[in-house]
Amino acid sequence: MKPGTENLSAQESLDLITDMIREAKGNIQQNAFHFLLWGWVVVSANLGMYTLAKIGYPRPYIVWLITIPAWIISFYVGYKRGKASRRRTHFDQISMWLWICFGVCIFTLIGFGYKLNHQLNPLIVTISVIPTFTSGLIIRFRPLMFGGVALWIFGIIGFLTPHALQPLVGATGIVCGYLIPGYMLQNRKA
């Protein structure tokens, strides 16, 4: 045992764990912002890509550049909230690194998309399950867990859909996986 720590009774330990979970839920609930930001950005990019491809624009994927300001905003808001937070819980750290790892995977997939026959949309929707479902599990928020399942289903549908329609499937998956649970999380009472 570390110096300066005291032995806690079973009830005090349980109360401490309960408080940490409650604080983590509050912190993640504040982060509904990120689900809504990324939900709207990705839905917009998917619909924009579909529209640009439909009108014959030669590089419809260019619309995904809207994610660059979203990354900047997301990091800035996360940084500011992290500094303003009373304390960072273990759950906050797990959630933060889970999403950072997801972002690193996205960059890797974008870099090697040509080796995947440019089937990035259904692949990214499918791997979005991991941080979404896990975030729901951490805060015990079933809509996020169901959102993760919805992302998995729409990812599979995307692989079975012609390439030209994949952005529509991706947009629908993100609505079900990020936006609906994000608004429910935003409106949830702690």
- Which pLDDT tens digit goes with each residue over 137-152? 988 899 999 999 999 9
Domain-embedded: residue 89: yes
Specify whether the CB–CB gap between 54 and 168 falls below 8 A: no
Is residue 130 predicted with pLDDT exceeding 70? yes
Domain-embedded: residue 6: no
Specify whether the CB–CB gap between 24 and 87 falls below 8 A: no
Residues 6 or more apart from 109 whose CB is under 8 A from it?
A: 116, 120, 123, 124, 127
Mean pLDDT across the chain, nearest whole number? 87
| Helix 67-84 × helix 32-54 angle, to 10° | 180
Q: How many independent structural domains does the chain possess?
A: 1
| Helix 90-111 × helix 67-84 angle, to 10° | 160
Domain-embedded: residue 134: yes
Domain-embedded: residue 10: no
Confidence at residue 6, expressed as pLDDT on a 0 to 100 scale: 66
Give the domain extent around 146.
Answer: 22-187
Token pair, residue 148, equals: 């993760």
Domain-embedded: residue 15: no
pLDDT tens digit sequence for 98-108: 999 999 999 89
Domain-embedded: residue 137: yes
Give φ, ψ of 141 to 5 degrees.
-120, 100
Specify whether the CB–CB gap between 178 and 38 falls below 8 A: yes
Domain-embedded: residue 51: yes
CB atoms within 10 A of CB 133: 20
Domain-embedded: residue 3: no
Of the listed ranges 6-10, 32-36, 41-45, 49-53, the least confidently predicted one is 6-10
Confidence at residue 162, expressed as pLDDT on a 0 to 100 scale: 96
- pTM for this structure? 0.83
Report the C-alpha gap between 39 and 33 in whole angstroms.
10
Greater confidence (153 vs 9) lies with 153
